[in-house]
Chains A and B, each alone.
Chain A
Amino acid sequence: MAQVSMTVNGKAVKRSVPDTTLLSEFLREHLRLTGTHVGCDTSQCGACVVHVDGRAVKSCTMLAAGADGASVVTIEGLAKDGALHPMQTAFNDNHGLQCGFCTPGMIMSGVDMVARYKAEGRELTEAAIRHELEGNICRCTGYHNIVKSIQDAAARM
């Protein structure tokens, strides 16, 4: 068993879990934070994307023990004091989802890409958003409204 301590959405958590526990499993089954979805479990779909120490990662492809000491943000941690994060609002306003299964990962990837491009002073064009979404798969929307949502949010963030 691994003793795992980390900060999740600003709260310190500590659990003893099997060494093989994935971060996605840790969040969903041990912390009951089921907003992080597991679509493929093979590193392809991006439904499980969370931020670890400020960077988007696929939580199905990281061990919980590997995140010991880290600060993790999940979709549940984005809204502040009941107000949606601009990325969430933009997905809402632009009909950026249908079934919603991919949405937590899309939003976490969206927030990550906007932050990176802003930090580097690069323009997040439509083409760049599509390229950045390479690791996020949506079965419903055809992506157009997801791209629009991220573009819209980038202007608000």
Chain B
Amino acid sequence: MYATTYHRPGSVAEAATLIGANPEAKVLAGGQTLLPTMKQHLAAPSDLVDIRRIPGMAGVSAAGGVLTIGAATAHADVARNADVLRHAPALACLAAGIGDPAVRHMGTIGGSVANNDPAADYPSAVLALNATVVTNRREIAADAYFKGMFTTALEEGEIITAIRVTPPKRAGYAKFANPASRYALVGVFVAETASGVRVAVTGAGANGVFRHKGLEAALAASFTPEAVDGVKISAEGLLSDIHAAADYRAHLIGVMARRAVAAA
């Protein structure tokens, strides 16, 4: 790891000031991706701004029937939170399947959403649930947030403080995990929300998480596993790598969509 300076600010404002003052600074949210990346010399932030213990950054509230999940809430805490289990059990189930138990104790929802790894689980939930990404500056709708692999609408120095989710009527998530890394080779999150049926696919897109309009239309007509069968899923724009070819991923999207609907 290249030299870096560690900071533990006591407030979001202090964190923002630190990041503003150090253009090469990075937010450390759980570090389960950032620290390994730094060890491999693929990232070399001048400063690390640890936001995990900022008061109020971790925890879930269900005030007004809307779930507000603090950015520093660990996956394990989302997985077993009573409000998440009640209002969006699919999200709890997704969180329970990220990485392994030790990783789930450190990794955070805000970190995952900020990183937008093309094979991460959370981006699919945020997009399918039409969630809102709350930052220290504004609120960003999921449709405007994800901008492609490892790219988001976040500006320099902008820090995610929470993810806000209006509970869906029903939702489900299914992933085909890479047997070695446990990242999603393909993950599909389906949700029946107030704004209609939304289907988001992670792991498969050459440009990161995306919505599948064909599946959305079919499930809007009939929210059943069988409805998936009639949908043609194109391999165009999907990833091909040593783990899976694009046409195999396309096939898996159908299989995972069916399972996700069955689980919803």
Contact = CB atoms under 8 A, between A and B. Distances in A.
Interface of A: 2, 18-20, 22, 41-43, 46, 49, 55-58, 61-63, 65-66, 68, 109, 112-113, 120, 132, 134-136
17 contacts: A19-B3, A19-B4, A20-B2, A43-B103, A46-B100, A49-B102, A56-B105, A57-B102, A61-B35, A63-B48, A65-B6, A109-B102, A120-B80, A134-B182, A135-B99, A135-B101, A135-B102
Given A41-B39, A42-B36, A42-B39, A20 B102 contact: no
Contact of A66 (B52, B80, B100): B52
Interface residues of B, number: 26
A132 B100 CA distance: 7
B20 to A, nearest CB: 20
B50 interface: yes
A62 B6 contact: no
A66 B6 contact: yes
Interface in B23-70: 28, 31-32, 35-36, 39, 48, 50, 52
A61 B106 contact: yes
Interface of B: 1-6, 8, 28, 31-32, 35-36, 39, 48, 50, 52, 76, 80, 99-103, 105-106, 182
A66 B31 contact: yes
A132 B35 contact: no
Given A41-B39, A43-B32, A68-B8, A57 B105 contact: yes
